[in-house]
A and B are shown apart, each in its own frame.
Chain A
Amino acid sequence: MLRFIATRLLQGVLVLLAIYAVTFFLVAATPGSPFSSERAISPEILAQIESFYGYDKPVTERFVTSITNVLHGEFGPSAVYANRTVTQIIGASFPVSAKLGLFALAVALGIGIPVGILAAVRQNSWLDYLPMSISMGGICLPTFVMGPLLVLIFGLILEWLPVAGWFGWEYTILPSLTLGLYYAAYFARLTRGGMLEMLNQDWVRTARAKGVPERTIIWKHCLKGGLIPAITFLGPALAGIISGSFVVETIFQIPGLGQWFVKGALNRDDFLILGCTVLFAALIVVMNLIVDIVQVALNPRLKYE
């Protein structure tokens, strides 16, 4: 088990390095530079700025410098927002995004998994049809449609909740729902499928023949295996929640990292783009590692393969 985790960790680090390299050269290959703006700057000053940020050196040398810095935990200065380092920007905005993401994940799992289990157990009843139809609808309403609609209904028509900003708990509800409901729908469908597969297995009949109550059959015999499809989807779900946060933070004007990333990409703020990409990728890599470990823990057959 330890060896397994160590291998996966090493793999993860290599993947991160690869992502960093790809992103770096992609950004470097982009025509123009972060400093070419509408305002006319004299060539001498531009050259001075460029040399300050190291842009006068060859690409490979810049890459080596930047990766050394990153390994020391320093992402460099923001090229657009003068006198703020990328580390500062991330430090200020990441907690906001992390909170939003965790709430969204809680919404997704907290609603999706119980609904999926219930639908599977009461297969072909209204407790199955109704939530599954709604979840199909949910899958077809991406965050950038769901968000505005929720704002329209709960913010503008009913006036129950604030529509923008990030101040108290009531400001977190609509963004978390917007981001989480889409994945709740996915998790509900995956959990239902997984549970149904388990409930149709021969060993469930064995358990019934032993006089095991239905409740025990569901929780003890089927839940472990039934959750595996949902667990597997955790990685893609986190990736989706991250990219969804770009949208949600824009709609609700939340000062999170997603907004900074999009702004960084649009403004060609090279160091900011690199910092955000590596951070997002690291989150996903860690999540995938957790998923792998949980899967092995849930499924005894995987240990020996």
Chain B
Amino acid sequence: MALLEVSDLRTSFHTRGGVVRAVDGVSFTLDKGETLGIVGESGSGKSVTCYSLMKLIPEPPGRIESGTAFFDGQDLLQMSPKQLRKIRGNRISMIFQDPMTSLNPYLRISTQLIEALRIHTNIDKKAALKKAIEALEEVGIPGAAQRVNQYPHEFSGGMRQRVMIAMALITEPDLLIADEPTTALDVTVQAQILDIIKERQNRLGTAVILVTHDLGVVAGTCDKVNVMYGGKLMESGTAEQVFYNAIHPYTRSLQKTIPSLQAKGENLYTIAGLPPDVSKPIHGCAFYPRCPYPKTGAPEGDRPQLVDAGDGHCFADCRFCDSSAPIETVLPQKDAGDLAGEELA
């Protein structure tokens, strides 16, 4: 049995401007020890998916409209707040995007580190503190025994994210949800943080959901990948499938945006246009207006369903464009003068 089985999750926000369908029917599974990457632009619903699983959506205005999320046989979405509290921080932990604001500046690191332990286990304070120091050492914080008594503002951004990881993993959870854990950090620190997550995961056998907008991060760390756009999955499969045999035009466009995969001296590829406004009804493929492929029809009807292309590699079959066309044809045209100007700048 899978550790986590999400099906048809729908979360929306009821604002004055209308109903924002942030997550609109998302399904996926995750096994023990596996790493799932959820990729997409801002506003694609990847973070909301994770918060919905933990029921951390502020209600109102948010509301989980439908769906199930079976975690170890229990539906997280049907749990009482009390049951949920027993799972949160104990069996499912979470790391957030901005380590500068995710730690409480009024409490010592030690207090915050041992909090989950003290709530979920019968450990005494002294033993918990010992474990906290160990946890800090394991994420590579030098002088952990002293630093544990300091306050968050005495730590740098990268160090704080290490603290967050130590804090999330101190109860040895079955599942770690990492919501863009490296986005707010320096590039040099990003790789270290990912390595630490990977290393801890291997030691503890934790399953990880890694939310990111950086395809490069996913390629290096994930077993499975979900590509999200406009609140729906566009493509899902193993990292290999999604990377080397990408089917959906959106996935392929995303790949084109990875800077290190692009030839030197060229303009960086960007996907023209803006992500869809999910507060308005979307007809046909949500990506249609930005799709670089030759259009073969007008978008109409419901949004495309996920179709299995074989071996669990699914994609949203949109049929409104000719995705068999080679992707090279969609590169932005560029003339020599433009290039010269670019180099001068």
Contact = CB atoms under 8 A, between A and B. Distances in A.
Interface of A: 201-203, 205-213, 220-221, 224-225, 298-301, 304
5 contacts: A203-B102, A205-B102, A212-B85, A221-B104, A225-B105
Given A202-B96, A202-B98, A300-B153, A208 B103 contact: no
A188 B107 CA distance: 24
B119 interface: yes
B116 interface: yes
Interface stretch (B86-94, B214-222, B294-302, B310-318): B86-94
A207 B104 contact: yes
Interface residues of B, number: 30
A19 B87 CA distance: 61
Given A221-B104, A301-B151, A206 B96 contact: yes
A146 B56 CA distance: 45
B88 A209 contact: yes
Interface string B68-95: 0000000000000000111111100110
A209 B89 contact: yes
A300 B106 CA distance: 6
Contact of A209 (B86, B93, B98, B107): B93
A199 to B, nearest CB: 10
Contacts of B104: 201, 203, 206-207, 221
A210 B87 CA distance: 9
A209 B103 contact: no
Interface string B262-294: 000000000000000000000000000000000
Contacts of A202: 96, 98, 101-102
B96 A300 contact: no
B86, B106, B120, B154: most-surrounded residue (chain A CB, <10 A) = B106
B151 A205 contact: no
Given A209-B56, A210-B119, A299 B106 contact: yes
Contact of A211 (B85, B107, B151): B85
Nearest to A214: B81
B247 interface: no
A208 B90 CA distance: 12
B54 interface: yes
B56, B90, B115, B154: most-surrounded residue (chain A CB, <10 A) = B115
A166 B164 CA distance: 59
A78 B285 CA distance: 90
A234 to B, nearest CB: 19
B167 interface: yes
Contacts of A298: 106
